[in-house]
Homo-oligomer: A and B are copies of this chain.
Amino acid sequence: MQPLLRVLNGETLDKPPVWFMRQAGRFLPEYRAIRAKASFEQLLSDSDLAAEVTLQPIRRFPQIDGAIIFSDILVILDALGCEVTIPEGGPRIGKTLDQIDINRPLDESIFDPVQAAIRKVKAQLPEKVTMLGFAGAPWTLLAYGIEGKGSKSWTKAKAFLHHDPVLARKWLDKLADAAARLLNLHIGAGAQGVQLFDTWAGELDAQDYAEFALPAVERTLSQVTAAPTLFFARTGYLPDALNQLSCKGLAVPWQVPMAEARRRFPKMVLQGNLDPIALLAGTETACRKARAIVDVMKGHPHIFNLGHGLTPETDPAVLQAVLNEVKA
């Protein structure tokens, strides 16, 4: 069995499998070459291009154990009619959720290209590399869907939870079901593991996160049973309640030391968690911090990764050095 799948199934390996969040992205010159000719939206809708950029990091770094399909967490909002565009300055929602009928069915045709892309990647993937799918978590989708774009404080989205908690929960449930459906489509197309991204988990206080966001996360996870699931709550404050989620593992944000994650979430496969900014501090620092993470995770099911996505400024040579260090 592939190393990454073995660990997702609870095994402990001597050398951890590795992949990197946002490994199909702007830090790679070959990705920028494609983006010079095609917009982000074109990559989302063209399964050949999406497959190509998914495979680029796998070709360049043969030590990588997971290929995460190129897509975007906001495709779910697009399938709900939000008319999402993703210009350079960050995503824009044409129709916010208050302009959308909550009973409107999901337009699943939006998900066709990503399924086709998964099939195409799968056909070309080296045998040892695990195919990964992903989706945005309900709260993060709600936050974008209410604000209409990225925000520093997510004021409207946070206020919405309290102004109309009944409607907020209905939307969270609907988004949870949509995320589950998308993950199951990814799995149906060939994904062998999936990750749910709660990018804006850290924007809610602990009580609101527990009351609103986590039940919706669980609603998604409990519907995804055909492949192992990872949950990434991007927050310095990781709640203990993550222990109760129906996921196989947690992607640990870089703020939380892996030793602490291991102590607090003993039954979870743990993934992470190098600070992507450490990759910009030079090879020596990046490798030293990577080594420390690998060492502290010895004896626990561990997938090496970053604690947030790769930045465009990353030098691929530094990433290669980190890969060598982790696999040494």
Binding site for B on A (CB under 8 A): 153-155, 158-159, 161-163, 202, 205-207, 235-237, 254-257, 260, 275, 277-278, 280-282, 284-285, 289, 292, 311, 313
Contact = CB atoms under 8 A, between A and B. Distances in A.
B277 A153 contact: yes
A162 B281 contact: yes
B281 A163 contact: yes
Contact of A282 (B159, B236, B285): B159
Count chain B CB atoms within 10 A of each CB in A275, A277, A282, A284 and give the residue with the most.
A277
B159 A206 contact: no
A236 B255 contact: yes
A146 B206 CA distance: 33
Given A155-B313, A237-B236, A257 B206 contact: yes
Contacts of A289: 205, 207
> For the complex formed by this chain, how many copies does it contain in all?
2
Given A281-B163, A282-B163, A207 B257 contact: yes
A277 B158 contact: yes
Given A162-B285, A206-B255, 16 more contacts: A154-B277, A158-B277, A158-B281, A159-B277, A159-B281, A159-B282, A162-B284, A163-B281, A205-B257, A206-B256, A206-B260, A207-B289, A207-B292, A236-B236, A236-B237, A237-B256
B205 A278 contact: yes
Contact of A236 (B154, B235, B275, B281): B235
Contacts of A202: 236, 255
Nearest to A235: B236
